[in-house]
Amino acid sequence: MSGSIGSTGAATKNKDGAVVVVDISDVQVTDDPNVVLATYALGSCIGVVAYDRKRCVGGMLHYMLPLSRTNPTRAKERPAMFADTGLPLLFEKMYAFGCDKSDIIVKVVGGGQLYDDRGTFDIGRRNYAILNKIFKNNGVKVLAEDVGGTASRSVRMLVGTGDVVVRSHGREATL
C-alpha span between 118 and 85 (Å, rounded) = 28
Do β-strands 153-158 and 163-168 pair in parallel, antiparallel, or remain unpaired?
antiparallel
The DSSP annotation for 7-52 comes to SSPPEEEETTEEEEE--TTEEEEE--TTEEEEEEEESSSEEEEEEE
Do β-strands 26-30 and 57-63 pair in parallel, antiparallel, or remain unpaired?
antiparallel
As annotated, the active-site residues are: 45
CA 95 distance to own-chain centroid:
16
CA distances from 51 to 3, 8, 72, 76 (A): 15, 20, 29, 26
